[in-house]
Amino acid sequence: MTQAILDNRYLSNWYIFGDSVCKGIIYNSVNKRYELSKQNFIRILSRKFKAKVKNFASFGATVKKGLTIFQRKKEEIIEPGIAFLGFGGNDCDFFWADVAQQPGIDHQPNVPIDSYFELYKELINNLQEKNIIPVIINLPPLDPDRYFNRFSEGLNKENILIFLGGSTKRIYQWHESYNSILTKLAIETGAYYIDIRQKFLEEINPERYICEDGIHPNDAGQKLIAQILYEKINEMLTAQ
């Protein structure tokens, strides 16, 4: 599909579909709870571009839930604009309590990777039909050890490691497999694609941008995402 032209006409209206990263949620290590970052990347960017924002992102959302949210909220999507999309971290996740009880059986992720691709494609097509330009944001990297320690609290860690093949590295690999098909998705649909992951990985200590839970970008990580997107959006505008 041909990529739509991004110009200033679309910058005044933003629609956000994604998980807690797009919502701007961080993990507060002091209070031991999740909360909205006051410096989340959507807030920073929308101020820079003076954009009106409807943020439909949701904590724990998969792309399947995102599609459901779109169907429920589509009457609110009236003005042409940009839709920032960020799904994958929850899609590739497992129900770890079940894994801990029976590590030897074939557990399926929340959204299998083929379904992830097709549902994401459907969401993008639906947005394009409403004259919305989709912008896929890929996945910030996770810290597999921190994430393992977080989700395995109160569970049988040894059994989970059996399922993972003996190493937390498998968590990173599996997460990366979902991230890696997003370029193909952008090519097939004509959606824009912005790589935020690379900038994190270029850092000597990328984990300093990640919360204690190992998966949510912290305040510094949210600011880094804002910086990357600001530069990339301006590049896309000047390239037209």
Q: Could you list the pLDDT tens digit for every one of the 240 residues in the chain?
A: 667 667 677 788 999 999 999 999 999 988 889 999 988 999 999 999 999 999 999 999 999 999 999 999 999 999 999 999 999 999 999 999 999 999 999 999 999 999 999 999 999 999 999 999 999 999 999 999 999 999 999 999 999 999 999 999 999 999 999 999 999 999 999 999 999 999 999 999 999 999 999 999 999 999 999 999 999 998 888 765
Helix, strand, coil % in the chain, rounded to nearest 5: 50, 15, 35
Domain carrying residue 222: 8-94+111-151+169-239
Write down the pLDDT at residue 50: 94
**Do the domain assignments include residue 122?**
yes
Write down the pLDDT at residue 240: 58
- Counting the structural domains of the chain, the total is 1
Sequence-distant (6+) residues with CB within 8 A of 143 are 207, 210, 214, 215
**Do the domain assignments include residue 99?**
no
**Do the domain assignments include residue 222?**
yes
**Do the domain assignments include residue 104?**
no
Residue linked to tokens 């429920």: 72
CATH of the domain at 39: 3.40.50.1110
Residue linked to tokens 């110009």: 7
Write down the pLDDT at residue 3: 72
**Do the domain assignments include residue 72?**
yes
**Do the domain assignments include residue 18?**
yes
Beta strands in the chain (DSSP E): 13-18, 25-28, 33-36, 52-55, 81-86, 132-137, 192-194
Write down the pLDDT at residue 1: 66
Write down the pLDDT at residue 239: 63
Write down the pLDDT at residue 201: 96
**Do the domain assignments include residue 102?**
no
**Do the domain assignments include residue 106?**
no
Nearest C-alpha neighbor of 44 from the set 228, 235, 212, 210? 228
